[in-house]
Amino acid sequence: MENAVIPSHVPADLVRDFNIFDFEGSSENVHRAWRKVGENEPAIFYTPVFGGYWVLNRAALLEQAWPDAEIFESGKGIGIPPTPKEFPPQLPIESDDPFHRMVRHPLNIALSPKAVSQLAATARQLAIDLIDGIAPQGNCDFVDDFSLIMPMEVFLKIVDLPSTDRPYLLGLTYDAIKNPDVDRRFASTREMFDYVDGWVRKRAETPGSDLISTIVTMTADGRPLTHSERVGYVVQIMFGGLDTVGGTMALIIKHLAEHPDDRKYIAENLGKNPGIIEELLRRYSIPTVARTLSRDVDFHGVTMKQGDRIMLPTMVHGLDERRWENAMEIDFERQPRDHMAFGKGTHRCPGANLARAEIRIMLEEWLKRIPDFSLNAEKPVRYQSGSVAGLVTLPLVWPTR
């Protein structure tokens, strides 16, 4: 995708050649790199990369824009780069109220606190089985051996898809979300739509009790969803369920591998201090989404036009010193309940309850079985930036008996 021609309303001094998939330092430590963007670039700047985006580069601006779905619309797509118009919208996130509220309802039920409490036993047993298999080895790649398995297996149970498809789906998800090659991203997205299309047709013919069946049999705005709406809906939950939680887990474990005092504190206080997980989520948030302006606005002194695309990076929010004192440091007394790891407003992530439960279970069971671990100095840790950032590799070692 070629860079956009700079629109006439964009001041030259606010233009930066910024590629979310490849910017200075992002392959070494993506959060540190975003922190430098937050420190060194204007509060709002414009990049012509991937068709052109405004980037909101301060916590206060993100807090204002995320919940303002009237001006900062999601219905024209949240992708970076924008998904081709040939693809159906990925409901519910790529829709606006009141239709958004209607189509989101099944997700709210499927991922409610009551539903999550029932899934927790499955998640815990998966975690125990994985860790018990890893622990005697004295080493692992946490990404390949745990974080790409445990939360994804829970998700596949929710949608009743075969566990044997997990490696294939993870490959598609990685390429569709993180691959910097735009052609490969769109090819993988198309392949995911094709995969989902078959399952949507099967569940429409023979519904079950799973979330896909709920989606294909639901009504919204007084009508059933169209086939393309059903497919787009399931694709969206696939991308959300197969990537974000595992990516957050890996970043948390990397932090604990480098901070033994924090490991000890969590092991002793996780049940007593609910702020532990919130602080980890604040520090290691990973999604960035796009919005589209519904009308011309003057936003904090910057003229933006209807149709302009806006980039909303949650990492900037969590690492902004103007919002959080010593933002790069973990402080378990901070109690940051208003972080933005799950977004804000009507489009706040419906999977937040499940994510918190899975991270808690991971911490409880890992620290119980492998309390003393560190990075493997002989193997590299590799980061990947993009619309959902994370770790590609996380090699760990620990003593065995």
Residue 301 has pLDDT above 90, yes or no: yes
Phi and psi at residue 162, to the nearest 5°: -70, 135
Contact 291, 309 (CB under 8 A): yes
- Integer Cα distance of 90 and 100 in angstroms: 11
Mean of the pLDDT values across residues 319-328? 96
Residue 179 has pLDDT above 70, yes or no: yes
pLDDT of residue 2: 67
Does a structural domain hold residue 3? no
Q: What is the pTM of this model?
A: 0.94
pLDDT of residue 356: 94
At 17, which CATH number?
1.10.630.10
pLDDT of residue 1: 60
Does a structural domain hold residue 7? no
pLDDT for 186-235, tens place per residue? 899 899 999 999 999 999 999 999 999 999 999 988 899 999 999 999 98
Task: State both tokens at 59.
Answer: 């916590």
| CA pseudo-torsion sign 357, 394, 262, 327 | negative
pLDDT for 360-393, tens place per residue? 999 999 999 999 999 999 999 999 998 899 999 9
Query: What proportion of the chain, given as a percentage, has pLDDT over 70?
Result: 100
Does a structural domain hold residue 1? no
- Integer Cα distance of 165 and 292 in angstroms: 34
pLDDT of residue 376: 97
In this structure, which amino acid lies at residue 193? F
Q: What is the mean pLDDT of the chain?
A: 93
pLDDT for 35-91, tens place per residue? 999 999 999 999 999 999 999 999 999 999 999 999 999 988 888 888 888 888 888
Does a structural domain hold residue 5? no
pLDDT of residue 90: 86
Contacts 24+ apart (CB under 8 A), 109-118: 109/214, 110/158, 110/211, 110/214, 111/350, 111/351, 111/353, 111/354, 112/353, 113/353, 116/353, 116/354, 116/357, 117/357
Does a structural domain hold residue 128? yes
Contact 63, 344 (CB under 8 A): yes
- Integer Cα distance of 5 and 8 in angstroms: 9
Number of domains in the chain: 1
Does a structural domain hold residue 266? yes
Task: State both tokens at 215.
Answer: 């989606």
Does a structural domain hold residue 6? no
Does a structural domain hold residue 152? yes
Rounded-to-10 torsion of CA 30, 31, 37, 42: 140
Would you give the DSSP letter of residue 94?
A: T
Domain that holds residue 125: 12-397
pLDDT for 229-257, tens place per residue? 999 999 888 887 777 899 999 999 999 99
